[in-house]
Structure 1
Amino acid sequence: MKKFIIEPEYDGYEIGTYLKETKGYSGRGLRNLEIYLNGKRVKNNSKKVRKLNRVLIKEKEKETGIKPMDIPIKVAYEDKNVLLIDKDPYIIVHPTQKKVDKTLANGVVNYFLKTTGKIMVPRFFNRLDMNTSGLIIVAKNSYAQSFLQEKGTVNKFYKAIVKGIVEKDEFLIDRPIGKVGDELRRRELTVEEGGQEAQTKIKVVKRFEEENLTLIEAELLTGRTHQIRAHMALEGYPLLGDELYGGEDKRAKRQMLHSYKTEFTDVETGKLITVEIDLPEDMKELLAKDK
C-alpha cells in the first residue's frame, strides 16, 4: 500500500498521468492497481487531482505459477521494496521450458512465503547467466519495479578474470552486438545487420603476468545479452573458462564473471544506495594461486 499527497505543481493533472510521470508507474502497471482519491475509489484514470489531495494505492495480488522450493537464498540487501540476492554460479535464474523448477525464482518465492506468509511474484529487475555469479535485484511490488525501470538509476559493475594481459588501464568498448540466427553466441554486427548498441566501460584491477591473466572491472552502460563476454572476446581477451567465447581453460570450470556491485535509487528516499559483495570462492582461490 502506498500513500501520496498531491504536490501543488501537479494541481489539475489526471491521476493516471500524475502516477506515471511522478511515481514511475507504467500504463500496464496502472491496470493492476486500486486507486483511492480522498478515500473514494477512482474508476477512471483521467480523474483530475487537486493540490493536497490524498492518494492511496493498493496493488492487486498477482498470481505466479512458480512453485516455492527450499533453495538457499543469500540476501545481500533488503528493504520493503527490493531484495538483492548474491547468486551462486550454476543455477538458472528463472524457469524455462527445459528447466521448470530448482531455479533461483523457486527459491525467491519460497523466501517470500517464509518472510511474508504470501506467495509473491518474483519481479527480477536483472538476470545473470547460469554460470555467472553475483547481485540480482528483485522488486517486491509493481511500484518498485516500475520506479526502477522508469525513474530510478541502476548501475551494475562486474569483476572478471580474462585471458591475456590487458594493456590499457581504462577504456570504453563501443561495439554493436547481436545474435546470428538461433546461435547463442553474440557477434559484432552493424545496426543494419541487426546489431544493438552496446557499451562497456573497462578498468584493469590487477595484471597477473606469469599466468597471462588480468582481473578487470566492467561497468555496463547498456544491457545486452552476454555483453561483457562478447565484448571482451571481441577485444581479444575472452573470459577465463568461457567456452562459448573462446576462453576454455582447465583452470576454470565456468566463465569467471561476477556481478560484485550495484548502485540503485532508493524507492522511498530517492537516494543512491550502493551494495557491494565479495568475490566468490572459486575466483578468490584462482587469484590466490596466481599471486
Structure 2
Amino acid sequence: MRTLRYEITPEYDGMNVERYLKKVHGYSSRTIVKLKHYDRGMYLNGAHTRTIDLLHPGDVLEITFLDSEEHGVEHFIRSNRQVQIVYEDHDLIVFNKPADMPCHQSCGHAADTLANVFAAHCDKLGMDLMYRPLNRLDRDTSGAVLVAKNRFAAATVTNNFHKTYQAILDGIPPQMEGRVDVPIRREFPEEMRRIVADDGQRAVTNYRVLVQSGNLSLVDFVLETGRTHQIRVHMAYLGCPVLGDELYGRKSELISRQALHCRHIAFPQPVSREEIRVDCPLLPDMQELCIKMGLNLDINE
C-alpha cells in the first residue's frame, strides 16, 4: 500500500479533486477511475471524497494505492539469487539485471526470472506488490531494469524515461558516430529473428564509438525507437554485430553471451518530479573483456 499526501496551497483554491490530480500531479483518467473504486482511494481532510469535490487552501488530500487487491507477488516462487539494486525509493526500483535471467516468467522459466527476485525483495520489505517492469531486456542482455512499485509510479514514468546501452562489437562501425535509420520486421511470422526490410517498422539507432582495439569496439547507443533486437539487428546490418550474438553474428570464445548492456537510465521521480539518473556498471564478464582487450575507457563511469 502506498499513500501520497498533498497539502493544498492557495493557487489551487476552488479546483476540483479530479482536475487537481490530473493537472498538478499528472494522474491519468484510468488511474483516477481505479482510485474511485477503492474505499480508501481518495480522502480529503480525513473523509472520503469525490472527484468533483472542491479543494481549498489548507486541505489535505490523501491518495492510497492498494496494490494488494490486484494480485501481487504472492504467487511467484521466490528466488534467492542476489541481483544488484542500484536505485530504490518508495515508488521505483532499478535492478542491474544479470545475463541469463529473463525479465518475465515463461515456459521453462518459472523460478529464475527477475520477477522471482522482485518477489523475494518484497518479502524483505514486508509488502505484497505487483511486478511492474517498465522496460524489458532480452534474457542474455544485462543492465538496468526499472520496476514500478505502484500504479501511480507506473502511469507517471511509463514512456517517460531514457536509456543508454553499451555493447562490445565484433568489428568497427563505419563512422565514430552515426545514426542508423532502417526498418525492421520479423524474418518469419512465428520466429524471433528480425531482419532489415523496407516493409518493416521504422527503427532508429544512434551510436558513438568510445574506444576500439583490434577488431573490437566499445560503443554507446541511444535509441529513438524501441524495436525488438534493434541494436543487434542494426549492428549486424553495419557488418559489426554485437560480440557473442549467435542469432545475428557468431559465437565468441571471448564471452559466453551477447555483449550488450543497458548502462544508464534516467526518469522522473513520480512524486517530487526530480530527474533521477542511474548508472548500472558493466557486469564482470564485459568489464574483464574490456580490460583484457584494452577497451578500458571509463567503463565504470
Tell me, yes or no, whether TM beats 0.5.
yes
**How far did 1:264 drift?**
1.6
Cα RMSD (Å): 2.2
- State whether structure 2 residue 69 is matched by structure 1 residue 59: no
In structure 1, the residue matched to 2:190 is 182
Answer yes or no: is the 8 Å Cα contact 1:73–1:108 preserved in 2: no
**How far did 1:49 drift?**
4.2
CA distance in 1, matches of 2:181, 2:21: 36
In structure 1, the residue matched to 2:139 is 130
Does the residue aligned with 1:113 lie in a helix, a strand or coil? helix
Residue 82 of structure 2 aligns with an amino acid whose one-letter code is P
CA distance in 2, matches of 1:52, 1:236: 63
CA distance in 2, matches of 1:189, 1:15: 49
Does the residue aligned with 1:229 lie in a helix, a strand or coil? helix
Task: Report the CA distance shift for 1:284/1:10 in structure 2 as closer, same or farther (over 3 A).
Answer: same
Query: Unmatched 5+ residue regions in structure 1?
Result: none
Alignment of 1:19-38 (within 5 A): 19-33=21-35, 34-38=41-45
Task: Report the CA distance shift for 1:259/1:17 in structure 2 as closer, same or farther (over 3 A).
Answer: same
Identity value in percent: 35
CA distance in 2, matches of 1:250, 1:95: 29
In structure 2, the residue matched to 1:288 is 291
- State whether structure 2 residue 248 is matched by structure 1 residue 262: no
In structure 1, the residue matched to 2:106 is 96
**How far did 1:157 drift?**
0.7
1:90-123 CA deviation, whole Å, 9 max, x = no partner?
Answer: 0111112342222111111111211x21222121
**How far did 1:66 drift?**
2.2
In structure 1, the residue matched to 2:205 is 200
1:229-285 CA deviation, whole Å, 9 max, x = no partner?
Answer: 122122222101111112433322111001111122222332222211322111122
Task: Report the CA distance shift for 1:173/1:20 in structure 2 as closer, same or farther (over 3 A).
Answer: farther
**How far did 1:71 drift?**
2.5
What is the TM-score when the length of structure 1 is the normalising length? 0.87
Residue 110 of structure 2 aligns with an amino acid whose one-letter code is V
- State whether structure 2 residue 277 is matched by structure 1 residue 274: yes
- State whether structure 2 residue 258 is matched by structure 1 residue 245: no
How many aligned positions are there? 282
Q: Pick from 151, 165, 168 the counterpart of residue 161 of structure 1.
A: 168
What is the TM-score when the length of structure 2 is the normalising length? 0.85
**How far did 1:16 drift?**
3.1
CA distance in 2, matches of 1:279, 1:89: 11
